[in-house]
Amino acid sequence: MATLIDLAQHYNYIVTIFLMMAGLYIVIARGNMVKKLIGLSIFQTSVYLLYIEPGKIIGGTAPIIDPAFSVYSNPLPHVLILTAIVVGVATLALGLALVVRINEAYGTVEEEEIVEKDRDV
């Protein structure tokens, strides 16, 4: 019973980790490079959630100081994740540029076809 209550209190983390593992699965199992990058960004967004969730206080508001409120959520994770989102898009753009180059060199973005072509050479 205690374990069940524990699980219910950490339900948000379980969903986050489900998303994270879906991303991980795409990255490992799929050969298409665009799909791999999308998996990577799903993993990334789940990490955003993992950071933001502990900062939330039930009954608190967004961390904008106003005399009408006294309980605020923690602003520090928000700042860190703001940085992470922008960096994430930068890496996504770089990764996609690499995919376009690979497509130009090999004519495909499937990992297995690329390995085959390398073997032929």
Contacts of other proteins in 85-114 (CB under 8 A): 85-87, 89-94, 96-101, 103-104, 108-110, 112-113
Please pick, from the candidates 1, 15, 47, 117, the single residue that binds other proteins as defined by CB under 8 A: 15
Work out the number of other CB atoms within 10 angstroms of the CB of residue 5.
Answer: 9
Residues 28-67 that bind other proteins (CB under 8 A): 28-32, 34-35, 38, 41-42, 45, 48-49, 52-66
Smallest separation (angstroms) from other proteins to the CB of 22: 5
The reply to whether 12 sits near other proteins by the rule CB under 8 A is: yes
Residues 67-86 that bind other proteins (CB under 8 A): 71-83, 85-86
Q: Which of 84, 42, 77, 43 lies closest to 63, judged by CA? A: 77
Q: Which of 45, 46, 51, 44 lies closest to 17, judged by CA? A: 46
What gap in Å lies between CA 87 and CA 79, rounded to an integer? 13
At position 14, the amino acid (one-letter code) is I
What gap in Å lies between CA 32 and CA 34, rounded to an integer? 6
Smallest separation (angstroms) from other proteins to the CB of 36: 10
